Amino acid sequence: MRCIEAHQGRNTSLGGALKWSGAVLDQAYEKCGQVTSEYAKTFYLGTQLMTPAQAKAVWAVYVWCRRTDELVDGPNASKITPKALDRWEERLEALFDGKPYDELDAALSDTIQRFPLHIQPFRDMIEGMRMDLVKSRYETFDELYEYCYRVAGTVALMTTPIMGIEPTYKGPLEPVYRAALALGTANQLTNILRDVGEDGYQRNRIYVPMEDLDKFGISEEEVLVGLNASSTGKSRTDERWRRFMTFQIDRARQCFMDAEAGVDLLDPKARWPVWSALILYRQILDAVEKNDYDNFSKRAYVPKLAGSQGWGHEDGSGSFSAWRCP
């Protein structure tokens, strides 16, 4: 609701005048575009259908999100402490006050002054990174939903004011924002279902709800070892895991369905990147099924997806690496 109020021109978080300008600011945006192009190629192409102002603003948001995610999932993640995230949040506050630390921050500060962005989803994303520092298991879906909101739904709230609304739409903004949140959640749930094995083997993280595993008679230890055919010595993926994954995939697909109604309420120039993200990301779920639900030794892959991103995260379990961002 804070984001909707900001979008409508009330209770915005804009700070003082920005000291960066001219060629220096142009260079900052150009660098943001280069980073977006390198790590999210298809999404970058989608931004070319937006106005130049929209595209640059989305690049600036993308780069901030990627830098935030890299704190806990990048090469120096093992050295990151809660205090480091506190300092990053202080930089965010300064950035919204028109006092950026570097040129990449300056691009986002300028974006904040050009579009009605609220600071809250940026704060919430940092909270998502804090969760990754201390939390490696999720007992219920409500807990997991909170995580999905913080690392992916927040991106939807950041970018919707930039993408804009269909000019002929005169209704309330809440359905648009709820649809955006649904797509961010759906994308992140899809990441999680795709990367169960990788998250378990490499990070000792299990994002799927523990209470759901219990309902299907699956232990934490079995998830960490793997329930695919090669791990269990059976001819196919364990039937319990197949039923469990069917349940999880159905829930993710419902989130995609909840998102569909809002896409056509976006400004026409922004619809294609969002529709492409929705359609292509949903196909990852199909690929998981085609792999006999083996997300332990096989990676569900949609070739044209590499780098695609709209409302929400693009890569695995809460990170921006191929948009944690492929």
Q: What residue ranges do the domains of the chain occupy?
A: 22-134, 137-303
d(CA 207, CA 190): 11
The HSE-up count of residue 49 (CA atoms within 13 Å, CB side) is 16
Residue 312's pLDDT is 47
Q: Thinking of the domain 137-303, which architecture would CATH place it in?
A: Orthogonal Bundle (1.10)
Instruction: Just give the CATH number of 22-134.
Output: 1.10.600.10
pTM (predicted TM-score): 0.88
Examine domains 22-134 and 137-303 and report if their fold is the same.
Answer: yes
> In whole angstroms, how far apart are CA 9 and each of 4, 113, 162, 171, 302?
9, 12, 13, 16, 40
Q: Which residues pair with 206 in a beta bridge?
A: 137
Residue 20's pLDDT is 63
Residue 261's pLDDT is 86
d(CA 195, CA 254): 20
* Residue 277 zone, left/alpha/beta (φ > 0; ψ -120 to 50; rest): alpha
SS (H, E, C) the chain: CHHHHHHCCCCCCCCCCCCCCHHHHHHHHHHHHHHHHHHCHHHHHHHCCCCHHHHHHHHHHHHHHHHHHHHHHCCCHHHCCHHHHHHHHHHHHHHHCCCCCCHHHHHHHHHHHHCCCCCHHHHHHHHHHHHHHHCCECCCHHHHHHHHHHHHHHHHHHHHHHHCECCCCCCCCHHHHHHHHHHHHHHHHHHHHHCHHHHHHHHCCECCCHHHHHHCCCCHHHHHHCCCHHHHCCCCCCHHHHHHHHHHHHHHHHHHHHHHHHHCCECHHHHHHHHHHHHHHHHHHHHHHHCCCCCCCCCCCCHHHCCCCCCCCCCCCCCECCCECC
Residue 326's pLDDT is 32
Residue 143's pLDDT is 98
Residue 189's pLDDT is 98
Residue 48's pLDDT is 87
> pLDDT tens track of the chain, all 326 residues?
999 999 998 545 445 556 666 888 999 999 999 999 998 887 788 888 889 999 999 999 999 999 999 999 888 888 899 999 999 999 999 999 999 999 999 999 999 999 999 999 999 999 999 999 999 999 999 999 999 999 999 999 999 999 999 999 999 999 999 999 999 999 999 999 999 999 999 999 999 999 999 999 999 999 999 998 877 778 889 999 999 999 999 999 999 999 998 999 999 988 888 888 899 899 999 999 999 999 999 999 887 544 444 444 444 333 333 233 33
Residue 49's pLDDT is 84
